[in-house]
Structure 1
Amino acid sequence: MESTAKLYSLNYNNVHTYLFALLFVFGNVMLPQLCHWVHLGGPTLLPIYFFTLVGAYKYGMKVGLLTAILSPLVNSSFFGMPAVAVLPAILIKSVLLAIIAGYMASRSKQISIPALMGVVLGYQVFGTLAEWALTGSFYAAVQDFRIGIPGILLQIFGGYFLLKMLASR
C-alpha cells in the first residue's frame, strides 16, 4: 500500500503556499458544516482536521500551519464552532497535526497507511496530553479516543485516498 509521490515543501514566499492554504481552509470550513448535520458529527468525525492533514502532508508544514491556525479561527468566528472555550485545545492539536504530517511526509517521501496512522495517532496522543494539561480533565481530553474513532479512521483512510488521488494528478 505504499506509493512514492511528489510531495512538496512550499515556503512562505511562494504564492502557491497561500492559495493551497486558502483552499484547505475552505475545505476545513465546509466539511464541518456538513458533518454538523449529523448528531455529534463534529466530535465523532473530527472534520476540522481533515484538510490540515492533507495540506500538510502534500504541500508541507507551512501550508499545514496556515491551514491549522486559520481553519479553527474562521470556523469559530463565523459559525461559533468550535466554541471559544475549546479553541486552544483544537488549535494545539491542529498545529501538532501540521507539524507531524509535514515532518512525516518530508521523511518518508511516500503516501502510506502506516505513515498516516503514525501522523494521526501522534497528534492525537500529544494533543490529548496537551488538552488534559489545559483542562485538567482526563475525561474531556480523551474525547477523540472515546467517540472520535470514526473521525480518526476517516483521517487515515480518507486522507490516504485523497492524497493518492492528488498524487496521480
Structure 2
Amino acid sequence: METTAKLYSLTFKSLKTYIFALFLIVGNILFPQICHLTPYGGPTLLPIYFFTLIAGYKYGLRVGLLTALLSPIANNLLFGMPPTSILPLILIKSGLLAVTSALAAHYSKKISLGAIFFAVIGYQLIGTAIEWGILGNFYDAIQDFRIGVPGMLIQIFGGYTLLKAIAKI
C-alpha cells in the first residue's frame, strides 16, 4: 500500500522547518496528555513518538530531529513526563525515529506502509539495544516490546493514515 506524496527535506535556513516543527512539537505535547488519561497510557501507547514519525517522514531529517529533541524536553519541563531519569533514553529513541523515518521516506519516495513499519521497528530495535547497553537490564530495555506494541501499531497504522491524509500538503 503506497501513496505518492509531497515529501520534503527542509533545511535549517527555511522558515518552514521551524513552522512545521512547532506544529508537530505541539502535537507531541498534546497527544501524550490525552494518552496519560488512561492507566499506563504513556508506556503502552508511546505517544511522545507519534508526531516525530510524521515530522521525519513528511518533512525530513531536520524537522524530525527538532521535533524529536524538543518534544520530550518540553513535556518534561511542562508536565514532568517523561521523568528526568528516563529523558535521555526517550531522546535517544526519539532521535532514532527521526532518522529512521526520514531514511524510510527518502528511499521509498512514497507513503508506504512497509517503509513506515521498517522505520518503527528499526528505531525500536536499535533503541532497545542502546537502552540495554545503558541500563544493563534486558527486561527493562524491552519494555516497548512487552507493553508498547499498541503504541507501535498506532505509529504504523495511524502514521500511515495521517501521512496519507496530508499527502498533498
Q: In the alignment, is residue 134 of structure 1 matched against residue 128 of structure 2?
A: no
- 1:90 is matched with which residue? 90
- Alignment partners' CA distance in 1, 2:141 and 2:82: 15
Tell me how far 1:168 sits from its aligned partner. 3.9
Q: Give TM-score, length-normalised by structure 2.
A: 0.98
User: What is the RMSD computed on CA atoms of the aligned residues?
Assistant: 0.7
1:62-120 CA-partner distances (Å, limit 9, x unpaired): 00000000000000111000001111110000000001111111111011111100000
CA contact (8 A) 2:55 2:67 kept: yes
Unaligned 5+ runs, structure 1: none
- Alignment partners' CA distance in 2, 1:21 and 1:44: 25
- 1:104 is matched with which residue? 104
CA contact (8 A) 2:17 2:63 kept: yes
- Alignment partners' CA distance in 2, 1:105 and 1:121: 15
Tell me how far 1:6 sits from its aligned partner. 1.0
- Alignment partners' CA distance in 2, 1:125 and 1:46: 15
- 2:19 is matched with which residue? 19
Tell me how far 1:13 sits from its aligned partner. 0.1
After TM superposition, which residue ranges in structure 1, 4 or more long, deviate above 3 angstroms?
Answer: none
How many residues are aligned here? 169
The one-letter amino acid paired with 1:29 is I
- Alignment partners' CA distance in 2, 1:133 and 1:6: 38
Unaligned 5+ runs, structure 2: none
